[in-house]
A and B are shown apart, each in its own frame.
Chain A
Amino acid sequence: MASVSVIEAGRPALGRRSRLRSLRGSLQGSEYAWAIAFCIPYVAVFLAFVVFPVLYGLWLGHKPSLYVELVHDPIYQETLVNTILYLVIGVNVKMFFALLLSGFFMRKGWWVKGLLMVYVLPWAVPALPTFISIHWMLNTQWGLVNNALWDVFHVDGPGWLDTSRWLALGSVIISYIWKNMPFWTVILLAGRMAIPTELYEAAEVDGATGIKRFMHVSLPLLANLYLVCTLLSTIFTLGDFNTDYFISGGGPALSTHVLATLGIRDAFELARPELGVAAVLSALPLMIPLVVTLMHKLRTSEVQL
């Protein structure tokens, strides 16, 4: 682009031209047309499949009476509690163990590398097959978990998914952790590997090893990455439909829905799309601050490895 501006510098500056330039940037004529043409496909996709659905969704859920109805609905109230528990416990426990395990995978040796290959499997395998498998594992009568409990301890396992709300929600959260922990472990591992070894060596000379080294070297350097990952993971988890839908299916007695699944249930099982949209939109007070913070953090690319 510099070559263009060098040529241009030799020309007399015209008022009209400079106004055009301020509109077009440093691009000229056919170049400008190309630059626009290259953007058109994305702009079209964005308008047709993001802007239009968002506006349409906001319009569907604009009536205040919908929110009054939701607030008085006991299922919605339970759903709200479930969503918060799912986010707070699921995301934080997962991230905490991911942080610890990323330290474990920094160990040297061929078997640790092999273990890492096995460990990332839950992330590599598509979500649906594994969730259906876990659903069947938790079957009270014939599932693998209760069979194993009987074989090892000779106790009858509980009905994981169909007796108690808390057992079912716990199962959903554990399945979620199983599926998503490997991914974040790999990210944090990449973050740890980016820390220069000189820092560790210097810390060791100063006498910091083990937990001290973790607290004073690894943790401060990983803190920002850890925070961004937690926020990003929170927002993905908020929109997570598959885990809850396939593990507990919202049961027993609709007591373990989360907002993402309740919205779909209201819209398609009750045939009330407005109510479904309202349920989803009620997550906006949480979503907006998350999106704003993350946009700032990601745009400034502080997390680049």
Chain B
Amino acid sequence: MSAVTAQVAPARRPNYKRRRVWREVAALAVAVVLIIWTLAPLYNMVEVSLSSHNDVFSSNIWPADPSAASYWIVLTEGYWYLEYFWHQYANSIYIGFWTVFLTLGIGSMVSYSIGRMRIRHGWLLTNAALMTYLVPASFLAIPFYRIMQSYGLGNNVWSIIAVEVTFATPYAIFIFQQYGRSIPFELDEAARIDGASPIQVYFRIYLPLMAPALVAVGTYALLLAWNEYLYQFLLLSNKRSMTVPVALAQFLNSDESPWNYMMATAVVYAIPPVIIYYLFRGKMTAGLTMGGVKG
């Protein structure tokens, strides 16, 4: 393109150059605003977590005497609100693990049946999944709460796993079906001619070829479970069955909130998903259109 410009209007070149400099300056200004906007709440989180109790209730914007004492308190469960911190953290991990495992298992099985085996009326299931994806999870919380009691799953982490799987599988089905179209049918057929049973095709051909989609959906399911609060709050009330977000929110409702401990807890809770997100970022963009972690 530059050659064209040079031929047509060589006299205007300096003007272009000045304009380009001006544009760079404008872009930098946008960048500075964006950085402040993005980092302010995260900065606040870290700042408060490094403060002493007196520093929290002061007008400083950086603690006078930053220390990691709050983190030590959190990690050693040294405050009465945090007495089951590691137990609760383990609950969050347990829920996250089973959510990912079951979402991938159930989602890939039904997608295989609909997309590869072409079961009759499979579109009904696809539509059911799509509809579930579009129903806001929080709108089902009230009947869900009642039903979980009648299923005998009150105060049980499996009730949460059931919820997360319910709301993560529709996304999984959608992505698997979209992605599955890129895998040639000839592979399945060749394996079938060689005498492979459907379940062998599923394990030996379908799942390995779906690996990128499995990673994307697995990350999505994990972040969904890690982000979710409402159901965990409603269904888990026992301190030992509770998860970290529920414990964190309990802090908020107490009168004398130890904000530095809260923020240290928040940072410790936020680190694993951020790492996982950055590790699998490239894979996740594959299925981004439908994504969005539902609130």
Chain A residues within 8 Å of B, Cβ to Cβ? 1-4, 23-27, 30-32, 34-36, 38-39, 41-43, 45-46, 48-50, 52-54, 56-57, 60, 101, 104, 107, 111-112, 115, 117-130, 132-137, 141-142, 144, 147-148, 150-151, 178, 182-184, 186-187, 190, 201, 204-205, 225, 232-233, 235-236, 238-243, 246, 260, 263-264, 267-268, 273, 276-277, 280, 283, 287, 290-291, 294-295, 298-299, 301, 303-305
Q: Which residues of A contact B173 (CB under 8 A)?
A: 42
Determine if A298 and B290 form an interchain contact, defined as CB atoms under 8 angstroms apart: yes
Q: Which residues of B contact A1 (CB under 8 A)?
A: 117-118, 185, 188-189
> A129 touches which one: B45, B151, B192 (CB < 8 A)?
B45
Q: Which residues of A contact B41 (CB under 8 A)?
A: 122, 130, 133-134, 137, 178
Q: Which residues of B contact A277 (CB under 8 A)?
A: 142-143
Which among B38, B137, B263 has the highest number of chain A CB atoms within 10 Å? B38
Determine if B125 and A25 form an interchain contact, defined as CB atoms under 8 angstroms apart: no
A43–B124 CA distance with the chains assembled, in angstroms: 11
> A35 touches which one: B31, B113, B245, B292 (CB < 8 A)?
B113
Which among A46, A236, A264 has the highest number of chain B CB atoms within 10 Å? A46
A88–B140 CA distance with the chains assembled, in angstroms: 23
Determine if A243 and B117 form an interchain contact, defined as CB atoms under 8 angstroms apart: no
Known: A3-B192, A238-B136. A135 touches B252 (CB 8 A): yes
Q: Which residues of B contact A4 (CB under 8 A)?
A: 192
Number of interface residues of B (CB under 8 A): 107
Chain A interface helix/strand/loop/mixed: helix
Known: A1-B189, A42-B107, A43-B125. A57 touches B140 (CB 8 A): yes
Known: A115-B35, A136-B48. A236 touches B136 (CB 8 A): yes
Determine if A299 and B44 form an interchain contact, defined as CB atoms under 8 angstroms apart: no
A248–B140 CA distance with the chains assembled, in angstroms: 23
A186–B292 CA distance with the chains assembled, in angstroms: 11
Chain B interface helix/strand/loop/mixed: helix
Residue B270 lies at the interface, judged by CB distance under 8 Å to chain A: yes
The 18 sampled A-B contact pairs (Cβ below 8 Å) are A1-B185, A27-B119, A38-B110, A50-B166, A115-B34, A121-B42, A126-B245, A128-B227, A128-B248, A133-B266, A190-B285, A238-B136, A239-B137, A263-B141, A267-B141, A273-B142, A291-B131, A295-B127
Residue B135 lies at the interface, judged by CB distance under 8 Å to chain A: yes
Determine if A25 and B227 form an interchain contact, defined as CB atoms under 8 angstroms apart: no
Known: A45-B166, A242-B230. A178 touches B289 (CB 8 A): no
Q: Distance in Å from the Cβ of A225 to the closest Cβ of chain B?
A: 8
Q: Which residues of B contact A290 (CB under 8 A)?
A: 134
In the complex, given contacts A31-B198, A42-B169, what are 15 additional A-B residue pairs having Cβ atoms less than 8 angstroms apart? Answer: A39-B114, A41-B106, A56-B147, A57-B142, A124-B273, A125-B273, A126-B270, A127-B227, A132-B263, A178-B41, A242-B295, A246-B249, A280-B139, A287-B135, A298-B174
Determine if A243 and B142 form an interchain contact, defined as CB atoms under 8 angstroms apart: no
Determine if A295 and B44 form an interchain contact, defined as CB atoms under 8 angstroms apart: no
Q: Distance in Å from the Cβ of B149 to the closest Cβ of chain A?
A: 12
Determine if B278 and A124 form an interchain contact, defined as CB atoms under 8 angstroms apart: yes
> A132 touches which one: B34, B147, B266 (CB < 8 A)?
B266
Q: Which residues of A contact B259 (CB under 8 A)?
A: 136
Residues of B277-295 whose CB lies within 8 A of A: 277-278, 281, 285, 288-295
Residue B67 lies at the interface, judged by CB distance under 8 Å to chain A: no
Residue B21 lies at the interface, judged by CB distance under 8 Å to chain A: no
Q: Distance in Å from the Cβ of A299 to the closest Cβ of chain B?
A: 6
